[in-house]
Copies of this chain bind each other. A is one copy, B any other.
Amino acid sequence: MDHELDLTADGATLTAALTDIASVSGDEKPLADAIERVLSALPHLSVHRRGNTVLAQTGLGRKERVVLAGHIDTVPHADNFPSSFNSERSRLTGCGTTDMKSGVAVQLRLAAEMTAPARDVTYVFYECEEVAAEDNGLYLLSRSAPELLAADFAVLLEPTGGVVEGGCQGTLRASVTASGARAHTARSWMGRNAIHEAGAILDVLRAWQPRTPVVDGLRYHEGLNAVAIGGGVAGNVVPDSCVVTVNYRYAPDTSEAEAADYIRSLFAPWEVSMLDNAPGARPGLSEPVAAAFVAAVGGTPRAKLGWTDVARFAELGIPAVNYGPGIPELAHTPGEYVEVAAIADCENRLRAWLSA
């Protein structure tokens, strides 16, 4: 089914429409199609597509070019699809409302309305942010067509509660494998139970204490979690393998390599395999172009705890910040929602900045 988006609707109505086009990572095509179709109809934009990543640019020959970027995928639904407004229509609940279809709605509204912004703008709508780094649409674009991303400054509309968030933490996933020896469970003492052994891996996770370092004036907060566990051969067999997948969120004072070494040493008794590792970015708010944006939209910047693609822009040498209408604490929770007023507020502040 082809979905039609109405970019003249207010930001909350548009957020609801975007939320109700399911786009769990890997299944973004229907939403990417709808975005490509609606933007291609606008004469002031040139539109490009790579996979399910859509990019639209003004070409006014302005002195500065800025990027407004957002991912269009969500985590799997958790009985929170489709979206619903509360009775006062002050709040929209549903999978992706906060992370980050409200931000995508703001991008689309500005893209349609700002036919002649004071700065040239590149709008990026990309796929697969919620899954492995190598599938990330912005990463793929930065490798296949970095010229399309060229800019002086970038804003990611990730959920920040309307506050400028600086930098981001790195994220690393690794598998930690406990080994054992198979045996019939009627004679379990002939084998070694790998799932029982994995209890010692979980002990490490349960005892772990997070660091909360201050980097360039902003306080970060690390995290280390099991995100998957699996083991078992048959209902009467002592299992010989149990795999725990861990996700380490590390502050931007730690490099990719240091984070990997730390995880290997923490789980030294077991076999550790790195699955993916995306470094963070220091906040960099002292850069003039970043400072100017902060001054324009107002508020006191804080540290971004989630990994976001500001790290990709950092790699490309483009200063970048997070600034969006969603509520970061609610991302990936079943009760995820966004405040309707925050969507319009974010849109208005960005419009003012782009017009000035």
Q: Which A residues have a C-beta under 8 Å from some C-beta of B?
A: 75-76, 78, 99, 130-132, 169, 171, 173, 182-191, 193, 195-196, 198-199, 202-203, 205-206, 221, 223-239, 242, 244-245, 247, 249, 275, 305-307, 328-329, 331-334
Contact = CB atoms under 8 A, between A and B. Distances in A.
A298 B234 CA distance: 35
A306 B190 CA distance: 13
B186 A305 contact: yes
Contacts of A75: 233-234, 236-237
Contacts of A231: 226, 228-229
Given A229-B195, A230-B230, A306-B187, A236 B171 contact: yes
Contacts of A224: 188
Given A199-B203, A199-B205, A245 B249 contact: no
Contacts of A169: 186
Identical chains in the assembly: 2
A332 B236 contact: yes
A193 B236 contact: no
A227 B233 contact: yes
Contacts of A78: 182, 233
A239 B78 CA distance: 12
Contact of A249 (B171, B182, B186, B239): B186
Contacts of A227: 185, 195, 232-239
Contacts of A332: 182-184, 234, 236-237
A132 B131 CA distance: 36
Contacts of A206: 196, 199
A328 B206 CA distance: 39
Nearest to A195: B226
Contacts of A190: 329, 333
Closest 3 CB pairs of A and B: A228-B232, A199-B202, A186-B306
Contacts of A221: 187, 189
Nearest to A231: B229
A131 B235 CA distance: 7
Contacts of A186: 169, 171, 223, 249, 305-307, 328, 331
A340 B173 CA distance: 50
A235 B174 CA distance: 10
A314 B328 CA distance: 62
Contacts of A196: 202, 205-206, 225-226
Contacts of A191: 333
Contact of A202 (B198, B228, B236, B249): B198
A189 B171 CA distance: 16
Nearest to A186: B306
B226 A229 contact: no
A157 to B, nearest CB: 16
A76 B245 contact: no
Given A171-B185, A184-B306, 16 more contacts: A78-B182, A130-B236, A131-B235, A132-B235, A182-B332, A182-B333, A183-B333, A185-B223, A186-B305, A186-B328, A188-B223, A193-B205, A195-B229, A226-B232, A226-B239, A227-B233
